[in-house]
Amino acid sequence: EAGVAQSPRYKIIEKRQSVAFWCNPISGHATLYWYQQILGQGPKLLIQFQNNGVVDDSQLPKDRFSAERLKGVDSTLKIQPAKLEDSAVYLCASSFIGDIQYFGAGTRLSVL
Amino acid sequence: AQSVTQLDSQVPVFEEAPVELRCNYSSSVSVYLFWYVQYPNQGLQLLLKYLSGSTLVESINGFEAEFNKSQTSFHLRKPSVHISDTAEYFCAVSDRGANNLFFGTGTRLTVIP
């Protein structure tokens, strides 16, 4: 069974630039999550989708972060413009509704 | 509000020795508890979970954790560690099944040959 796919694995940008991350969840998983994991901290939920609707985006910095899941499958997380403090690993996870979350390998973002 | 405290940021232990990784939580409602493991350059993998029933839960690779409601703890233990257990371990709590996970800051377990 294919797992959660994320790309790119690494990204280096300068502050004030834009960046986008892509996630392909496990087939059939209706729920998709984006987490931010800053070095030395645990993952923090940014946004949760169920199919193509947003369930929880209370911790998403909406002035610079946006996410979409237009067809209820793939998802894209964007940062525009990036700040130094956005340097982190961005993890995508998916699950059946109410079930265990499965995580991708993440995208490591460095903002210089 | 929920929170998770992992008291030890790093735990070095010799191969074949026992280990305990501590996790304490706070929650005002019913809790569901999880341990995830993260190997270098990989995503998080579920190690074990407590949703209901027996307070002692086990994983397939020899780890176990016990839900202690009075102590608000969910410590992870293994009687004999292997080199391959070297990884970061995260404790997480939820008040809605497997959704809405709040993670601790992680404990880096290093197994010394």
Element (H, E) at B64: strand B64-68
**pLDDT tens by residue, A14-67:** 999 999 999 999 999 999 999 999 998 899 999 999 988 999 999 999 999 999
Interface of chain B toward chain A, CB-CB under 8 angstroms:
4, 9, 36, 41-46, 49, 90, 92, 96-101, 103-106
- Whether the per-residue pLDDT at B27 is higher than 80: the answer is no
Using the predicted structure, report yes or no on whether residue B113 has a pLDDT greater than 90: yes
Q: Is the pLDDT of residue B38 over 80?
A: yes
Name the 3-class secondary structure at B85: helix
**Nearest residue, CB atoms, A43 vs list B45, B49, B103:** B103
- Omega within 30 of 0 (cis) for the link into A81: yes
Asked whether the beta carbons of B85 and B93 are under 8 A apart, the reply is no
Widest distance between CA atoms in chain A: 39
A36 touching chain B per CB within 8 A? no
Return the pLDDT at A99.
82
| Contact criterion met (CB < 8 Å) for B98 and A105 | no
Dump pLDDT digits (tens) for B48-105: 999 888 888 888 889 999 999 899 999 999 999 999 999 999 999 987 766 778 999 9
Cross-chain residue pair B103–A100, CB shorter than 8 Å: no
A93 within 8 A of A84, measured Cβ to Cβ: no
Q: How far is B103 from chain A (nearest CA, A)?
A: 5
- Percent of chain A past pLDDT 70, that is, above it, reads 99
- To the nearest whole Å, the CA of B46 is away from the closest chain A CA by 8
- How would DSSP label each residue in B18-45? -EEE--EEE-SS--EEEEEEE-TTS-EE
User: What pLDDT was estimated at residue A94?
Assistant: 94
